[in-house]
Structure 1
Amino acid sequence: MLVLKQFKLFLTDLPSPVNLNSMYNFGSMLGLVYVVQMVTGLLLSLFYFVDLSGGYESVVLIMKDLSYGWVVRFMHSFGASVMFICVYLHILRGCLYSGVKMQVVWLTGVFIMMVLMGIAFMGYVLPWGQMSYWGMTVVTSMLGAFPLVGGLITGVLWGSYTAGVVSLSRFFSLHYVLSFVMGGLIALHLLVLHNKGSSNPLGVFSGGDKILFSPSYSFKDSLGFLVVLFLYFLGVFYLAYTLMDETNFEEVNFMSTPVHIKPEWYFLFAYCILRAVESKLGGVILMLMAVGVLAVFGCVSVRCSGSLVVYGINKILIMVWVVSFVMLVYLGGLGVEYPYSGLSVVFTLAYFTCILMLSLVGWLL
């Protein structure tokens, strides 16, 4: 009874600000997507195996021989895109509506995003297609650029002198285990959030003007669930192959590299930043800082009064930041050639400049 009482207090009887809008739906939508990803991932793990040739044959088995295996696989692969769409919009909402001022909540959220990106990258390797293998080889070899520890990190990930089947086994294990670790981090994120209460679009204290979460916000969240289910329906039955690279349908060829190596779309912004710098170590550091700079943003902007979006200069900075992010995603999918390489440098500078200026403005206001 005590557990049920705490559960009810945590979810349905939670005091919430009266002016939460639809941008606050992405947290609950992420919860639904996480559950779907865990269920479909567990089902896929029952039939996925790594043999001497890798994991390509097991993917073919799941797609062709298992009853509705193709549905489960498409739900899991397209669900990763749905999750990252919700994550990026969730972060944007935090930037717009003073969520960044809740320092501990923001920092735990940034850490969850880092773990999520690691999980997604490992999952991208598991089909063991041509693009999966060479994308993994290129990105992990970049970690060897770190002085002293770079070779150790690469060796632990590869498990050998080169990336191969041993690496695939390690990535599968980490992909499986870290998914549960992320669940614990999500619980911590919610615990910290509900300890102090949610932010609101105005970014002001709302302790004297709150309502119970249920039924008003429960109904509003259910509409977000319908959007997620609709996206899954589109992804499984109409857009299943749209976000997949055609090169990844080829089995690994260790003697031939693809003409243009690129990861999934949700990594393209970081991949574009990596390529924008000629220095190998500098590119890796900037790639990691593409997400790490959000933690700096959360540590510096706690002094601002009200939501960042109420200040005119912040609206412009956030708009330029979003445009820079979208352009980095677009340019990351193109070849390293003129004029795309030059534009990558421009939008990389714009991306980091906007975040740092937002941090400075938030600290001064």
Structure 2
Amino acid sequence: NLAVPSSISYFWNLGSVLGACLGVQIVSGLLLIMNYINFSALSFDYSIILYQELSMGWFLHNIHMNGASCFFFFMFIHLWRGMYFGGYLNLFTWWSGVVLLLFNMVVAFMGYVLPWGQMSYWGTTVITGLLSVVPYFGDSILNYVWGGFTVGPSTLTRFMALHFLIPFIMVFTVFMHFIFLHNKGSSNPLGVPEEGGKTQFYPLFAVKDVWTFFGLLALLLFLVFIAPNALGDAENYNEANFLVTPLHIQPEWYFLFAYAILRSIPNKLGGVLALVFSVMIFFFFPLSSTKFKSCSFSLKHRVLFWCFISCFIFLTILGAMPMEAPYILCGQIFSVLYFFIIFMFLL
């Protein structure tokens, strides 16, 4: 029965929620893969058959699709909680968490192409095309990823294999994350040692975990039954057509902040570097020179934190907008602010 700080709030239950999300995604994914054909000529048709004809197929489809959104939603909040309360000071726990975020992004991106819808095809074409900026070997790497000279059946096979395998690597990384966390112990809202103020995990925090599981279940069921397509793109219910480009290509909502940064920079190489650094920058948080373990005791860091959250939200909104005035200029301003705020936060 682990002793934990008595002052921690429901924000510290998000790790358990994320574990439940990962479990839901793996189980629903295994059930879906039994009725999926990774061949471009049939993938879209079988996705529709699975949704309309298979018993409870619509439920599996909706819970897997919306489960990914829930996974990212709670993962972002978990990350922000670590920023606010100094979770990044636990070096290996923080780094393993950022690795899990990267794995989740890769898995979600590769899963996005599998329905072989119009937005899946063109989104994959645009994002994988960024590999061509790698000096000397870019075109060779891109052709290997595609399995040819364009996104096609070989791409689908490669992405299907990785989409299936990487979640099991994530499970191993989650166990490492737990080990690092339990070796050092949880942080707390006060940011100070609470050796004398700890309490047993059971029953108080176990009951809080149960309540957060009910919250996750309620959110998932709402999305599945009431608003299954609220977070998706209607264009993806059209079969992929390499002859017709959608008027506006955009990824899923959880990639929009990085997508807005990517397209805010006219230079292709510069945009790719900014895109990669927008996520990789979280690895540098343990190098922060701040003396405060919690933003609660630093007005500067508290203001910067909420400015960062606002900037992230604005970039997400701008990423869904067409490439035209005034969204281009706004995207460039908030992209600069995104990195500036993080830089100031680390000082």
TM-score normalized by the length of structure 2: 0.98
Q: Report runs of 4+ in structure 1 exceeding 4 Å deviation.
A: none
Secondary structure of 2:199's partner? strand
Q: Partner of 1:304 in structure 2? A: 291
Displacement after TM superposition at 1:155 (Å): 2.1
Cα-to-partner distance string for 1:136-185 (whole Å, 9 max, x where unaligned): 00000011111123223312211111111110111011000001111111
Q: Partner of 1:155 in structure 2? A: 143
User: 2:229 corresponds to which letter in structure 1?
Assistant: Y
Q: Partner of 2:50 in structure 1? A: 62
2:112 is aligned with 1:105: no
Q: Partner of 1:9 in structure 2? A: none
Preserved CA contact (<8 Å) 2:40 2:156: no
2:346 is aligned with 1:359: yes
Alpha-carbon distance between aligned partners in 2 of 1:356 and 1:161, rounded to the nearest angstrom = 40
Q: Partner of 2:328 in structure 1? A: 341
Displacement after TM superposition at 1:273 (Å): 0.4
Preserved CA contact (<8 Å) 2:4 2:201: yes
Q: Partner of 1:316 in structure 2? A: 303
Secondary structure of 1:211's partner? strand
Alpha-carbon distance between aligned partners in 2 of 1:286 and 1:39, rounded to the nearest angstrom = 35
Preserved CA contact (<8 Å) 2:131 2:141: yes
Preserved CA contact (<8 Å) 1:79 1:232: yes
Alpha-carbon distance between aligned partners in 1 of 2:140 and 2:182, rounded to the nearest angstrom = 40
Q: Partner of 2:114 in structure 1? A: 126
Preserved CA contact (<8 Å) 2:36 2:47: yes
Alpha-carbon distance between aligned partners in 2 of 1:284 and 1:222, rounded to the nearest angstrom = 41
Alpha-carbon distance between aligned partners in 2 of 1:289 and 1:52, rounded to the nearest angstrom = 33
Against the structure 1 CA distance between its residues 302 and 191, is the aligned structure 2 distance closer, same or farther, given a 3 Å change threshold? farther
Preserved CA contact (<8 Å) 1:297 1:356: no
User: 1:182 corresponds to which letter in structure 2?
Assistant: M
Secondary structure of 2:4's partner? strand
Q: Partner of 2:27 in structure 1? A: 39
Secondary structure of 1:16's partner? strand
2:200 is aligned with 1:220: no
Alpha-carbon distance between aligned partners in 1 of 2:263 and 2:149, rounded to the nearest angstrom = 25
Q: Partner of 2:230 in structure 1? A: 242
Alpha-carbon distance between aligned partners in 1 of 2:71 and 2:40, rounded to the nearest angstrom = 32
Secondary structure of 1:55's partner? helix
Preserved CA contact (<8 Å) 1:143 1:150: yes
Give the alignment of 1:182-201 within 5 angstroms. Answer: 182-201=170-189
User: 1:358 corresponds to which letter in structure 2?
Assistant: F
2:18 is aligned with 1:19: no
Alpha-carbon distance between aligned partners in 2 of 1:102 and 1:149, rounded to the nearest angstrom = 37
User: 1:21 corresponds to which letter in structure 2?
Assistant: S
Q: Partner of 1:73 in structure 2? A: 61
Preserved CA contact (<8 Å) 1:102 1:302: no
Preserved CA contact (<8 Å) 1:101 1:304: no
Question: Larger deviation: 82-91 or 50-59?
Answer: 50-59
Against the structure 1 CA distance between its residues 24 and 209, is the aligned structure 2 distance closer, same or farther, given a 3 Å change threshold? same
Alpha-carbon distance between aligned partners in 2 of 1:328 and 1:87, rounded to the nearest angstrom = 18
Displacement after TM superposition at 1:210 (Å): 1.2
Q: Structure 2 unaligned segments of length 5 or more: list them.
A: none
Q: Structure 1 unaligned segments of length 5 or more: list them.
A: 1-12, 361-365
Preserved CA contact (<8 Å) 1:50 1:58: no
Q: Partner of 1:279 in structure 2? A: 267
Alpha-carbon distance between aligned partners in 1 of 2:37 and 2:121, rounded to the nearest angstrom = 16
Secondary structure of 1:38's partner? helix
How many aligned residue pairs are there? 347
Preserved CA contact (<8 Å) 2:113 2:124: yes
Question: Equivalent of 1:139, from 127, 130, 133?
Answer: 127
Cα-to-partner distance string for 1:232-261 (whole Å, 9 max, x where unaligned): 110110110111111111001111110000
Secondary structure of 1:187's partner? helix
Cα-to-partner distance string for 1:275-302 (whole Å, 9 max, x where unaligned): 000010110111011111111123x127
Preserved CA contact (<8 Å) 2:96 2:177: yes
Secondary structure of 2:103's partner? helix
Preserved CA contact (<8 Å) 2:292 2:298: no
Alpha-carbon distance between aligned partners in 2 of 1:87 and 1:326, rounded to the nearest angstrom = 15
Against the structure 1 CA distance between its residues 20 and 52, is the aligned structure 2 distance closer, same or farther, given a 3 Å change threshold? closer
Alpha-carbon distance between aligned partners in 1 of 2:161 and 2:276, rounded to the nearest angstrom = 23
Q: Partner of 2:160 in structure 1? A: 172
Displacement after TM superposition at 1:227 (Å): 0.6
Displacement after TM superposition at 1:125 (Å): 0.8
Alpha-carbon distance between aligned partners in 2 of 1:14 and 1:62, rounded to the nearest angstrom = 44
Alpha-carbon distance between aligned partners in 2 of 1:44 and 1:219, rounded to the nearest angstrom = 32
Preserved CA contact (<8 Å) 1:130 1:251: yes
Alpha-carbon distance between aligned partners in 1 of 2:285 and 2:339, rounded to the nearest angstrom = 11
